[in-house]
Amino acid sequence: DPSLRLSLRLIPYSDELWLLVARDVSKMMRLEQMRRDFVANVSHELRTPLTVVHGYLDMLDPGDQPEWAPILEEMRHQSQRMTQLVEDLLTLSRLEAQDSVVDEEVAMDSMLVTLRREAEALSQRRHDISVEDRAGIDLLGSTRELHSAFSNLVGNAVRYTPAGGSIAITFARTADGGAELSVRDSGYGIPAAHLPRITERFYRVSTSRSRESGGTGLGLAIVKHILQLHQARLGIQSEVGSGSTFACRFGPERVHARDRAFTPVPA
Ligand code: ADP
């Protein structure tokens, strides 16, 4: 049966004997696929009507009814949020359906320039932003997806750091010959109890603060998926009141072949 999917576990039984436990997970995987297809289809179907509503809202003018201005503004804001949510759901569906990424050369110098520009645009001079390239190498992977992952982390750092705080983006080599892009902020921080679940879809520490911050609750789920596709890991360190560091760790195989011979510079 080509649709049969088994999950196998080998359990030590005695000195010489092992137990092989095979579990039929076909049904579970079929249901999971149905859930994914459903989310992808619904998101896709919502896209067109949302574009139409958004387009007409932009054309509306309060005219001689000034009390309509804040209402229109709020409607535009909410339809913008809904559009972002649908886009994020579609991104997540696309990532879930993928099991590998292209291996193109990811120019990290221009990536860092872009991230700095984005951080500055979001921060509007409310934070002290620093960007440092300690590695001077390039990565292998999908430039578009990696940019989306890093950019999500930078966006969170700005959104969850009060004015006057600092944000540091650092690209460095790791001891194993790989590389790490980290985003450190001096913001609100995340209570330890929430950390294990923080990358789940729609999981949020404080609903009100997160909603005000304008996110969709899907950012870190997207980051995790993109990193998984690059066999990379997301390290999170955080302390309430002093800030958080999100580190994307890439193995040596993700360092561009040209740069692999360089010995990592100790931090
Ligand atoms: P959201 O759109 O709500 O920001 P994310 O998936 O990006 O969704 O993040 C999930 C939750 O993790 C956020 O709602 C917030 O509570 C917490 N979080 C993410 N990044 C940070 C950060 N840099 N500092 C503090 N909390 C954060």
Condensed to tens digits (0 to 9), the pLDDT of residues 35-88 reads: 999 999 999 999 999 999 999 999 999 888 999 999 999 999 999 999 999 999
Tokens of 63: 């005219």
Residue 214 Cα: closest atom of ligand 1: 2
Cα separation, 131 vs 113, in Å, equals 8
Residue 205 Cα: closest atom of ligand 1: 16
Query: Is ipTM over 0.85?
Result: yes
Ligand 1 site, residue 112, Cβ cutoff 6 A: no
Of the chain, the percentage scoring pLDDT greater than 90 comes to 86
Q: Say yes or no to pLDDT of 211 above 90.
A: no
Distance of CA 79 to the CA centre of its chain: 22
121: which residues sit within 8 A by CB, 6+ positions away? none
Mean pLDDT of 20-38: 93
Distance of CA 140 to the CA centre of its chain: 18
Rounded to the nearest whole angstrom, what is the distance from the C-alpha of residue 178 to the centroid of ligand 1? 26
Mean pLDDT of 205-221: 83
Residue 174's pLDDT band (boundaries 50, 70, 90)?
Answer: very high
Residue 266's pLDDT band (boundaries 50, 70, 90)?
Answer: low
Cα separation, 219 vs 196, in Å, equals 15
What would the pLDDT profile of 183-192 be if each residue is shown by its tens digit? 999 999 999 9
Look at residue 215 in the predicted model and tell me its pLDDT: 84
Rounded to the nearest whole angstrom, what is the distance from the C-alpha of residue 48 to the centroid of ligand 1? 28
Rounded to the nearest whole angstrom, what is the distance from the C-alpha of residue 112 to the centroid of ligand 1? 22
- Predicted structure pTM score: 0.89
Ligand 1 site, residue 264, Cβ cutoff 6 A: no
28: which residues sit within 8 A by CB, 6+ positions away? none
